[in-house]
Amino acid sequence: MNKFARMIYLIYLLSLSFSCVKNKSSVKEIHKSEFASTSKTDTLKFTTGIRCIFQDSKGNYWFGTNEDGVGLFDGKSFRYFTKNEGLSDNQVRSIQEDAYGNIWFEAANRVCSYNGKIITNYNPGVNFNLPGQWKKTENDLWFNAGNKEGINRFDGKKLQYLAFPKPKTVNPNNRYAVTDIAKGKNDFLWIATYAGVFGYNGDQFTIINDESLAGSKGMGELHVRSILEDSRGRLWIGNNGIGVLLKDGDTTINFSEKHNLIHPTSSRSGDKSPPGTLEHVFAIEEDGNGNIWFGDRDTGAWKYDGNTMSNYTKDEGLTNNGVFAIYTDRIGELWIGLGDGNVFKFNGKTFDQQF
């Protein structure tokens, strides 16, 4: 090979090298994992708490956990998805389905999707100092943004970070990091954060925080963990310490305090609560009959029928008093996920263990 030919060959090799580098950098924010199938089992093998429950359009049930990844139940057997199958993390906080039937997982450190064959991990890859503009459409999917004081929105094409307005924070230890998301009437999206709640209708914000509630009696200091707007338009706000707040129109009350469900000596913080109290509310749901359900970290499941409160604990057959997920499926049946990884379903009078 003459000198000129060697030079051409070296230029060719360099061009291939730069091409590979360029291709790698263009996809560095997305990781895909493809597999034919995962092993199936007839039993639920979770040992850590159930964080979320979801039924997809095909009738399958999905269970997200605190440390064990995701379980898929097709009515006969379970399949499991963990970091080994491509999830970015084994903690899964919420599960959703998009208009095309893809299943989306909100993992601890990244958003993932599953199309039946491939798990794709999405990294927003954004400059948090230059967030996107707020907007919303009917088909948006919303996810937390870790410890950032904002939220991630997937519009069907890209995942984009949106920063919250900057209201005053009364408690400097509380941040506006997302803890729960719920849809309401009048096109409202409700976003719960540790320090308060943001309501967004596509045009303007409603903000509920310690500052806005300063004149309301018996509120206590917010530390929001769950939220629900019910079929009557009432907003229920679950806290870690001060129980449930109920916003009905322009009036907000401490629902737990009104029903004598906060212990007289309560620290109204993260300390463990005694039986018979409703202070640490990590899940809220409405069933098909209009009953409102609360999942307490320490004292089991609670049902409010509009007049009375009913409490379901280990004394009533549950295997654990920590209720972290409550879900109404497509036919109106109510499911709860417990802190020990077990799943129960309500039979109209009490709870039966399903898995």
CATH code: domain of residue 343: 2.130.10.10
Question: Which residues face 228 on adjacent strands?
Answer: 236
Burial of 248 (0-12, 13-18, 19+ CB in 10 A): middle
Which domain-ending residue is among 123, 152, 169? 123
How many domains in the chain?
2
Phi first, then psi: give them for residue 107, nearest 5 degrees.
-85, 175
Question: Which residues face 163 on adjacent strands?
Answer: 150
CATH code: domain of residue 90: 2.40.10
The band of 7, judged by pLDDT with boundaries at 50, 70 and 90, is very low
Which domain-ending residue is among 103, 123, 143? 123
Question: Which residues face 180 on adjacent strands?
Answer: 192
Choice between 24 and 159, residue whose per-residue pLDDT is larger = 159
pLDDT digits (tens, 9 = 90+) for 37-87: 566 777 788 989 999 999 999 999 999 999 999 999 999 999 999 999 999
Which domain-ending residue is among 123, 151, 178? 123
Tally Cβ neighbours within 10 Å of residue 212: 17
Tell me, what DSSP letter sits at residue 10?
H
Q: Give the mean model confidence (pLDDT) for residues 200-208.
A: 94
pTM score: 0.88
Range of the domain at 338: 213-350
Residue type (1 letter), 351 = F
